[in-house]
Amino acid sequence: MAIRIIRKKEDPALRQRCSEVKEITPQIITILEDMAETMYHNDGVGLAANQVGIPKQLVVIDILDQGLLELINPKIVEAEGKEAEAEGCLSFPGIVGEVVRANKVTVEALNREGKKIRVQGSGLFARALQHEIDHLEGKVFIDKVVSFLEPSD
């Protein structure tokens, strides 16, 4: 495994739409493992593949050490509610802003074995799912911020 360099701010990789993973090869598994290592190394709760310069639909999430979730080709299939909460992003260090997101979402994806999985999340987990899936579409959270806040640390 290896820690990869996180693309930041104006890097064009962050604006790139990621393509669907057609086949889960050993290379895809290596990318997922590197993404997880990179996320933990930087104390993040989620990371999308284009944040390390790979335009493929791959996401890793671990909210408050609840366990690593790997998502391949994730899609939001249901969303409900709305709430504004603070969020940040490893690609925009030092920036915190309030973003309005659904407070409950259901996501369908593939796991590393290629099995279809369905993940339901609310609160911070739902927020992370939406934030990371936005990345795969070349969208970044600063475009959605309704008010910028002082970083807490």
Give the binding range for Zn ion (CB under 5 A) out of 29-37, 55-63, 89-97, 98-106.
89-97
Cβ 111 to Zn ion, closest distance in Å?
22
Nearest 5°: the CA angle 152, 7, 71 is 85
Q: Is 85 tagged catalytic?
A: no
CB nearer to Zn ion: pick between 89 and 110: 89
CA distance 92 to 9: 6
Q: What is the 3-state secondary structure (H, E, C) of 63-103?
A: CCCCCCEEEEEEEEEEEECCEEEEECCCCCCCCEEEEEECC
Strands 69-80 and 83-87: unpaired
Residues between 49 and 88 that touch Zn ion (CB under 5 A): none
CB closer to Zn ion out of 50 and 73? 50
The residue annotated as part of the active site, out of 83, 87, 132, 150, is 132
89 contacts Zn ion (rule: CB under 5 A): yes
The pattern of x and - marking residues 108 through 137 that bind Zn ion according to CB under 5 A reads ------------------------------
- Distance of closest approach, residue 26 Cβ to Zn ion, in angstroms: 26
Kindly write down the DSSP assignment for every residue of 18-75, as one continuous string. PBPP-S--HHHHHHHHHHHHHHHHTT-SEEEGGGGT--BSEEEE-STTS--EEEEEEE
31 binds Zn ion (CB under 5 A): no
Comparison of 114 and 151: residue with beta carbon closer to Zn ion: 151
CB of 114 to Zn ion, least distance (A): 26
Smaller CB separation from Zn ion, 24 or 53: 53
Quickly tell me which residue has 């493929």 as its tokens.
56
Query: What is the contact surface with Zn ion in residues (CB under 5 A)?
Result: 89
Which amino acids are annotated catalytic? Answer: 132
